[in-house]
A = this chain, B = another copy of it.
């Protein structure tokens, strides 16, 4: 089964997903998330698509129901994203309800589709005269893109047996090409997404017009053609051509989807300058606009990237959709360049910002993913600080289900480094893999208690006849890494691309054991990150930890805690954290600080009479951020004040 973003055979990429591979997760949190996805989240999503009216909108468009359109203009996209999610899950094994949903919905879409291929229930039902007339906000191509991605996923996961969904998507894509490639106007959509989708559809169908259209949309952007928006053209990434823009600006999800499309176009057309422009923005984003959890988009107003180093823990938006989009962009850059730093950020994002978006039981979602919540958050007004089952603007739940459903496809890449076929293990999760390599069939089994344990054991279960290399990503946080092949020590140094590469004659039964340094570590911010100055975060392996009120001593507020110099953390295994699964909890001796007010204000003279806050010892407990908020809605913080010597 193939996964997302599979470059065409002629694409210019350093790495590729293993072709005709079969990857199956066999344990760990990612498998747990997939099980919850299949058993809880998707059945619930199918209910919501009825309750919220998404499917009814399509039935009205098909002439099979009465009444008016309900919801925001992009209601169709939720249907398409759940279709894509269902397709990936069907790739894991049969499920009658999901199959039935995909089949029924493909037929509904077929009936709702216009003669000319157009398909968008909002404009068909509510505003038939306004088709393609207000692209800055209409989301018509955004919805079209998600339809294409659903069809591509169903095709790759063999969940669209009769090809019906692919036909619907192609008819819409052909219509798009007729209108916007050959057409008179230089239209483009206010919400990027169709660019990457068109390239994916090109990859599946070989139809070059789709690639040409994607390329045209990418090149048209940044010239003020999208249309006026209250937050200005930068909000829609329409202020600077994509070859010139130095930094991610504006609506985070839009910007990230656009970048995924840019890389897709660049690798399929061999445009290295276009690729370099996107990679430069990625590096700028990583260095200046990325939360410790991988969360992106600091500002709630406009759901946008903020200024460089504007990374507030409490006010950050860090939209769930942005986390998922970031993974898609990083994955494409990883394939394009083979540089492990993209896999590093994928890991950070999936295990933290993305992992926390859904409750452990699979029922509730965050749209925003801040790194701090105060005790009185429920009294304040603004962006809600709790998860919900569904939303009026329900983009985030299906963003979770579709990425969770395809997580195994981000674990492995292959390359021909220095003429040697190489299999790169990008992510550490229990899995089995079989794929063609080096003129034969390769089989691997990965066993690990990761992210709780740092030992990753890879067993070659089937060895191809020719030599090949096994490359293991060495995460930069692992201070002491060791590597053994069949019991013998090997150097475990990260090469310039970020991997430890083992080139040898492999035989079935060979084992490699990678040991990553899972010692809890304190992380401090760059001095320009104003919002968490003087603080440290606790990390362990790929996991960012947080301090939840529920785990602290009675009478100690999370917001009074601080870490003393030289603090050390003890690791304590816990079998199940109220549904969040196995975990390693971290405990330390810290202090609680009772601050003083001066003149009734939260400020005081430096060195003045109240200069010494009252401190007392307090034992503290931290849990993985991705498991937070499964045990009540108390205060939480990732960044903890670090007292100086």
Q: CB within 8 Å of B: which residues of A?
A: 231-232, 234-235, 247, 249-251, 283, 286-288, 290, 292, 299-302, 304-315, 341, 344, 372, 374, 376-377, 379-383, 476-477, 479, 521-537, 559-560, 562, 593, 595-607, 613, 639, 641-642, 644-645
- CB–CB A382/B315 < 8 A: no
Contacts known (A286-B601, A300-B301, A309-B374); A595 close to B526, Cβ less than 8 A = yes
Instruction: Please measure, in the bound complex, the distance between the C-alpha atom of A379 and the C-alpha atom of B521, giving whole angstroms.
Output: 35
Contact B234 A381, beta carbon cutoff 8 Å: yes
Q: List 8 A-B contacts (CB under 8 A).
A: A232-B381, A299-B300, A306-B382, A314-B530, A479-B605, A526-B596, A527-B560, A534-B534
Q: How far is the CA of A526 from the CA of B167 in the complex (A)?
A: 63
Structural contact, A521 and B304, CB atoms closer than 8 A: no
Please tell me if the beta carbons of A602 and B231 are within 8 angstroms of each other in the complex. no
Closest to A310 in B: B314
On whether the beta carbons of A593 and B527 are closer than 8 Å, the reply is yes
Which of chain B's residues has its CB closest to A498's CB? B599
A606/B306 contact (C-beta < 8 A), A234-B379, A382-B299, A601-B286 known: no
Most chain B C-beta atoms within 10 Å of own C-beta, residue among A232, A290, A315, A525 = A315
Contact call B602/A287, Cβ cutoff below 8 A: yes
Chain B residues with Cβ below 8 Å from A290 are 601-602
A299-B315, A535-B533 known; A603 vs B526 contact (CB < 8 Å): yes
Q: Cα distance A525–B283 when bound, in Å? A: 34
Q: What B residues does A377 contact at CB under 8 A? A: 307
Contact indicator A315/B309 (Cβ below 8 Å): no
Cβ–Cβ < 8 Å partners of A593 in chain B: 527
Which of B250, B534, B537, B605 is close to A521, meaning CB atoms less than 8 Å apart? B605
Report whether A310 and B306 are in contact in the complex, using a CB–CB cutoff of 8 Å. no
Instruction: List 11 additional A-B contacts (Cβ < 8 Å) besides A290-B601, A300-B301, A533-B533.
Output: A232-B381, A249-B381, A301-B301, A308-B376, A309-B374, A312-B531, A314-B530, A521-B605, A526-B603, A527-B613, A644-B645
Asked if B604 and A526 make an inter-chain contact with CB atoms under 8 angstroms apart, the answer reads yes
**Alpha-carbon gap, A314 to B596, bound state (A):** 24
Q: How far is the CA of A369 from the CA of B223 in the complex (A)?
A: 32
Return A498 CB to nearest CB of chain B, in Å.
10
Which B residues are CB-close (under 8 A) to A307?
Answer: 314, 374, 376-377, 379-380
Q: Which of B288, B526, B597, B644 contacts A287 (CB 8 A)?
A: B597
Question: Is A527 in contact with B595, judged by CB distance below 8 angstroms?
Answer: yes
With A and B bound together, what is the CA distance between A292 and B598 in angstroms? 12
Q: Name the residue of chain B whose CB is nearest to the CB of A317.
A: B301
| Residue with the greatest number of chain B CB neighbours at <10 A, chosen from A521, A597, A599, A644 | A599
Flag if A605 contacts B522 (CB, 8 Å): yes
Most B CB atoms within 10 A — which of A292, A531, A596, A645?
A531
Q: For the complex, give the distance between the alpha carbons of A380 and B247 in Å.
A: 10
Give chain B residues whose Cβ lies under 8 Å from the Cβ of A639: 530
Cβ A302 vs Cβ B231 within 8 A: no
Closest CB pairs A-B (n = 4): A534-B534, A522-B606, A526-B602, A476-B599
* Shortest distance from the beta carbon of A547 to any chain B beta carbon, whole Å: 13
A506 to chain B, nearest CB (A): 30
* Residue among A372, A381, A531 facing the most chain B CB atoms (10 A cut-off): A381
Are B559 and A309 in touch, CB under 8 angstroms? Answer: yes
A247-B379, A381-B234, A381-B235 known; A311-B523 Cβ under 8 A: no
- Closest chain B residue to A535 by CB distance? B533
Is the pair B559, A523 in contact by a Cβ cutoff of 8 Å?
no
Inter-chain contacts of A645 with B (CB < 8 A): 644
Residue of B nearest to A615 (CB): B527
Closest to A308 in B: B376
